[in-house]
C-alpha cells in the first residue's frame, strides 16, 4: 500500500469553541468525535481532514502554520462571520493567484485563510 497523508493534527484550548468556529461558522463536516469527547476530526467535500484535540496547556499557535478552507462564496461567509462577531482582518479581496480570500484567527489563535474563486474566474 502506498503512503498517503491522512490528516493534520492540531491541539486547541477549547474544543467547543473550535467546533463552533469550524463547523457552525465555516461549514466543515464532523467526521469523527465531537466537542464533548475531547477529539474532533473535520473535513468536507472529499478533501483533506484536520483533527483537533483539547490540550489546554500545550495549545499555542505556531507561526508559519495556516489552515486553509475553501468555500463556495467567501463574501457570504464574510458577512456571516461579521454578523457573528468574529474578527476578520479585512473584507474579501481578489488575489493575483485567482482566488478571493479573507484571513482571520481561530479561537486558539491559529491563522486561517478562507477562499473561493475570484469573481473573474468563477464559472
In the chain, the domains with their CATH numbers are 7-121 (3.10.180.10)
Say what the pLDDT of residue 86 is.
96
Residue written as grid cell 463552533: 20
Say what the pLDDT of residue 6 is.
74
Measured over the CA atoms of residue 28, residue 32, residue 39 and residue 46, the dihedral's sign is: negative
Residue written as grid cell 468563477: 122
Residue written as grid cell 462577531: 85
Say what the pLDDT of residue 63 is.
77
> What residues have CB less than 8 Å from 54, skipping those under 6 apart?
11, 12, 13, 14, 15, 38, 39
Could you tell me which of 94, 118, 88 has the C-alpha nearest to residue 26? Answer: 88
pLDDT tens digit at each of 123 positions of the chain = 676 777 888 889 889 999 999 999 999 999 999 878 889 999 987 778 999 998 877 667 777 888 999 999 999 999 999 999 999 999 999 999 899 999 999 999 999 999 998 876 544
Instruction: Report the half-sphere exposure of 1 (CA within 13 A, side-chain side).
Output: 3
Say what the pLDDT of residue 58 is.
64
Whole-model pTM: value is 0.84
Amino acid at each position: 500500500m502506498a503512503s498517503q497523508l491522512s490528516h493534520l493534527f492540531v491541539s486547541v484550548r477549547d474544543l467547543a469553541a473550535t467546533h463552533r468556529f469550524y463547523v457552525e461558522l465555516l461549514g466543515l463536516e464532523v467526521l469523527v468525535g465531537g466537542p464533548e469527547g475531547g477529539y474532533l476530526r473535520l473535513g468536507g467535500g472529499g478533501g483533506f481532514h484536520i483533527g483537533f484535540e483539547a490540550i489546554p496547556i500545550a495549545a499555542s499557535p505556531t507561526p508559519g502554520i495556516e489552515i486553509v478552507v475553501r468555500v463556495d462564496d467567501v463574501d457570504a461567509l464574510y458577512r456571516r462571520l461579521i454578523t457573528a462577531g468574529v474578527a476578520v482582518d479585512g473584507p474579501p479581496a481578489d488575489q493575483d493567484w485567482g482566488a478571493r480570500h479573507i484571513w482571520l484567527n481561530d479561537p486558539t489563535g491559529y491563522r486561517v485563510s478562507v477562499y473561493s474563486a475570484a469573481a473573474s474566474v468563477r464559472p
